Amino acid sequence: MNARLTPWLFLMPAIVIYGIFGAYPIFQTFAISLTDQVGVAAPGKFVGLQNYAALLHDDYFLNSLKHTGIWVIAFLLVPNTLAISIALLVKQTFWGASLIKTVFFLPLALSFAIVGVIWGWIYEPDVGLLDQLLIGLGLDGLIVEWLGPDAANYSVIAAAAWRQTAFATVIFLAGLSAIPQELLEAAKVDGGTRRQIFFRITLPLLKPASTIAVSSALIQALLATEIVLTMTEGGPFGSSEVVGYRMYMETFWNYKFGYGASIGVIVTLMTAAFVVPYVRRMAKAQERDWS
Amino acid sequence: MAHVTINQVIKNYGAVQAIKGIDVEIEDGEFVALVGPSGCGKTTLLRMIAGLEDISGGTISIGGKVVNGLQPKARDIAMVFQNYALYPHMKVADNMSFSMQLAGASKNEIKTKVEDAARILNLEPYLERFPRELSGGQRQRVAMGRAIVRNPKVFLFDEPLSNLDAKLRVSMRAEIKSLHQRLGTTAVYVTHDQIEAMTMADKIVVMSAGRIEQVGTPLELYDEPANLFVAAFIGSPSMNLLSAEICDGGVRFVDGTVLQLSGTEVFNTDRRVIAGIRPDAFELAEQGLTVQVEVTEPTGAETQVVGQIGDTPVTCLMRERISGRYGDVLHVLPQGPVHLFDPDTGLRIGTARAVLKN
């Protein structure tokens, strides 16, 4: 067989699947975003970049963009920091460590939509778990209207972060166990304090794990939709709307397929702009450290 | 530089006692090898000296100061690990100076020390490289450089050559030995390779199952093994161990052959013993022990004969070029010392010499 064709032949199944389910929809979304298509009955007519121009003046969209920005910042910081701490903690072998691990991993078994439903109950005013807990602890003063206009976006983020933390913990635990014990011992003999060893040996060597955890956090934050749908439906008064939710509403609620597709393209571009350079840089560092 | 005193040291892992009360005295500037088979506790002992394992009982002192409760960094030791343990994200120079960076040394001081160590180890061209860009031998040298830069009281080596190929191992062996002679720092070296221990160490500690079998210079262990374990462990190929009993003027082997020996007079006749004879002590003879040949392995300078005396497997190293085949019979007599061991306790009870018959 032709030696130059062989690799392509092996890649064929992946290319076909990616083509049908990846490349084609992206291309199609971009094509639709340049039309004024309404619903699915008939293709719309070509309107150039009009949809994108309209987005710049769409207060609903700009509002959701601001909320998504908060999602990105919170998602980068909170779940990853928590996950590293938890991973360091449960990596120690102590009695009950595997039970604790299971508890931390459990949220992963739930989809974001289900997480939204559960946390919706937790945030329920007065009778919800959170309020009951605070009342029980005598901390009534801390109670706010969790899903009210001021707190809703943050409350939704907290619920989503709960699941994201579980994911990142799994990743960081795997990353920690890939660091040879000898390296940490060498650093100990070299005179490192626990803090120095963490920041100068452990953390740099967690790069492969952080690449996955950070890019996953970015993607999940930018695409967040279903948890918003099941928890708040973007409300109250749009206070928890995010771009994914806007895209869904414009497309499947208002049937403005062309307009919704333009939001989809923006989300795709934002994701690519954040994630691609990051993954590239980390892949380079990884190649240096782990071969 | 410092002397290291290990006093009645015990290590327990749960109910298992890995080290059962060990005493070793390591003099200032001495190169001591801890040697023994896998699981004998030699690495555990080294890690206890380093402070990477807790000490369950007894004391370890470095330079006269008990270090039991001290962290590794407070013990003023440097360790070379089996897999080098180089930091993969740091260049060679940073790997070597990491301890100084942590201690807050000045840039100039770090530069001078790293350059000195690099010169000693011929690492100057590689200072700006990452560990992955180095060969196994170079990585090993960086690991030693990291130890040298710290100028510690004691060097600890944990089987540092076991990942290198045979040829490189021999040259690194010589390099470590000459390095030790130049620096004069006390060194404790763990290995399972008795040749490494013999060639490098001033003093060898032979360990087995958490106990010390014998402590001595390489030649003391070779010439006067304290017991069967040391006799079989030190020397390559291993000493041949043959059942025999004392008789008038020598020993009688199981097959009835009598060997005239001087030095057996002190023992009662009929006492059962195990006679230990080094492979190179044998010489061909008209009469003597009957070796049934299994294979002969010529190496040029000598021939190694593998066979059996009675039911006991034996190895003989002959200077003659012998071309024996399976089933051939040779007669051999020991010309060197014959070590006599008590079969019950395993202890050496004496060393006799063959009486030459002409």
Nearest Cα of chain B lies from the Cα of A189 at a distance, in angstroms, of: 5
Angle separating helix axes B136-149 and B92-103, nearest 10 degrees: 20
- Structural domain contains residue A43: no
Q: Do A185 and B99 touch (CB under 8 A)?
A: no
- Write phi, then psi, for B169 (nearest 5 degrees): -60, -40
- Hey, is the C-beta of B72 within 8 angstroms of any chain A C-beta? yes
Which residues in chain A touch residue B89, judged by CB atoms under 8 angstroms apart?
Answer: 204-205, 285, 288-289
Q: Which of B79, B83, B130 sits opposite A189 (nearest CB)?
A: B79
A248: CATH? 1.10.3720.10
Those residues with Cβ within 8 angstroms of residue A191's Cβ, 6 or more apart along the chain or in another chain: B72, B73, B99, B102, B103
Residues B113 and B186 in one domain: yes
Q: Are residues B182 and B253 in the same domain?
A: no
**Residue B321 DSSP code:** -
Q: Which of B50, B78, B132 sits opposite A291 (nearest CB)?
A: B132
Domain range holding A116?
Answer: 50-289
Give the CA-trace dihedral at B145, B146, B152, B154, to 10 degrees.
Answer: -80
pLDDT of B190: 94
Q: Do A182 and B83 touch (CB under 8 A)?
A: yes
The per-residue pLDDT for A72 is 92
One domain for residues B49 and B153: yes
Whether residue B193 is found in the same domain as residue B48: yes
Nearest CB neighbour to B77, from listed A180, A189, A289: A189
Are residue B167 and residue B119 in the same domain, yes or no? yes
Compute the average pLDDT of residues B91-98: 91
pLDDT tens-digit series, residues B242-261: 999 888 888 888 888 888 88
pLDDT by residue for chain A (291 residues), tens digit each?
A: 577 888 899 999 999 999 999 899 999 889 888 888 887 777 878 888 888 888 888 888 888 999 899 999 999 999 999 999 988 888 876 677 778 778 888 888 888 888 888 888 888 887 888 878 888 888 777 777 887 788 888 888 998 899 999 999 989 988 888 888 899 999 999 888 888 999 999 998 888 888 889 888 988 888 888 888 888 887 788 788 888 888 998 888 888 888 888 999 999 998 888 888 888 887 777 776 655
> DSSP string covering B216-265, please?
E-HHHHHHS-SBHHHHHHSSSSPPEEEEEEEETTEEEETTS-EEEEES-T
* Confidence grade of residue B356 (pLDDT, cut at 50, 70, 90): low
Which pLDDT score is estimated for B358? 45
- Please indicate whether, in this complex, the C-beta atoms of B52 and A289 are within 8 angstroms of each other: no
Contact A191 B73 (CB under 8 A): yes
Last residue of a domain, one of B232, B257, B287: B232
B89 to chain A: closest CA residue: A289
Chain A: give the shortest CA distance to residue B30, in Å: 21
As given in the structure block, the two tokens for residue A77 are 């910081």
**pLDDT given at position A148:** 79
Q: Are strands B154-158 and B348-354 parallel, antiparallel or unpaired?
A: unpaired
Cβ-based burial of B157 (10 A; exposed 0-12, middle 13-18, buried ≥19): buried
Phi/psi for B329 (5° steps) reads -125, 135
Peptide bond into A236 cis (omega under 30): yes
Residue A8 lies in a domain: no
Within a domain: residue A62? yes
Residue B357 has pLDDT above 70, yes or no: no
CATH code at position B19:
3.40.50.300
Q: How many CB pairs under 8 A join A and B?
A: 64
Residue B179 is predicted with a pLDDT of 87
B130–A288 CB contact, under 8 Å: yes
Q: Which of A83-97, A159-173, B81-95, B323-337 has the lowest mean pLDDT?
A: A83-97
Average pLDDT of B272-277?
A: 92
- Mutation site, B46, B52, B76, interface A, largest A CB count within 10 A: B52
B124 and B185 both lie in a single domain: yes
Whether residues B288 and B158 share a domain: the answer is no
Question: Residue B342's domain is classified under what CATH number?
Answer: 2.40.50.140
Kindly calculate the radius of gyration of chain A based on its CA atoms and give it in whole angstroms: 23
Residue B45: predicted pLDDT:
92
CA of B6 vs chain A CAs: smallest distance (Å): 20
Q: Are residues B339 and B322 in the same domain?
A: yes
Residue A235 lies in a domain: yes
**Which chain A residues contact residue B72 at CB under 8 A?**
185, 188-189, 191
Q: Which of A96-105, A213-222, B73-82, B334-343 has the lowest mean pLDDT?
A: A96-105
Domain boundary among B232, B248, B279: B232
Residues B191 and B337 grouped into a single domain:
no
Tell whether omega for the bond before B237 is within 30 degrees of 0, i.e. cis. Answer: yes
Is B89 in the A-facing interface, judged by CB distances under 8 Å?
Answer: yes
Pick from A191, A193, A290: which is nearest to B88 by CB? A290
Rounded to an integer, what distance in angstroms lies between the CA atom of residue B338 and that of residue B261?
A: 8
Token pair belonging to A149: 């206009």
Q: Are residues B206 and B322 in the same domain?
A: no
In terms of CA atoms, which chain B residue is nearest residue A180? B85
Residues B141 and B190 in one domain: yes
Residue B347 has pLDDT above 70, yes or no: yes
pLDDT attached to residue A290? 59
3-class SS at A283? helix
Number of domains within chain A: 1
Same domain, B190 and B126: yes
pLDDT at residue number A80: 92
Surface of B (31-70) touching A: CB under 8 A = 50-52
Domain ranges, residue B111: 4-232
pLDDT at A289: 64
CA angle A179, A180, A182 (to 5 degrees): 140
Packing angle, helices B92-103 and B107-120, rounded to 10: 140
Residue whose tokens read 């992946």: A14
Task: State the total domains in chain B.
Answer: 2
User: Are the Cβ atoms of B81 and A186 closer than 8 angstroms?
Assistant: yes
| Cβ-defined contact of B85 to A183 (cutoff 8 Å) | yes
Q: Other CB atoms closer than 10 Å to residue A278's CB: what's the count?
A: 15
**Per the CB < 8 Å rule, is B89 touching A186?**
no
Tokens standing for residue A205? 């060597």
Distance from CA of B97 to the nearest CA of A (A): 9
Chain B, nearest residue to A181 by Cα: B85
Nearest Cα residue in chain B from A204:
B89
For residues B200 and B117, what is the distance between their CA atoms, to the nearest angstrom?
21
Q: Which of B204, B232, B260 is the last residue of a domain?
A: B232
Q: How confident is the model at residue B24 (pLDDT cuts 50, 70, 90)?
A: very high
Please tell me the distance in Å from A208's CA to the nearest CA on chain B.
12
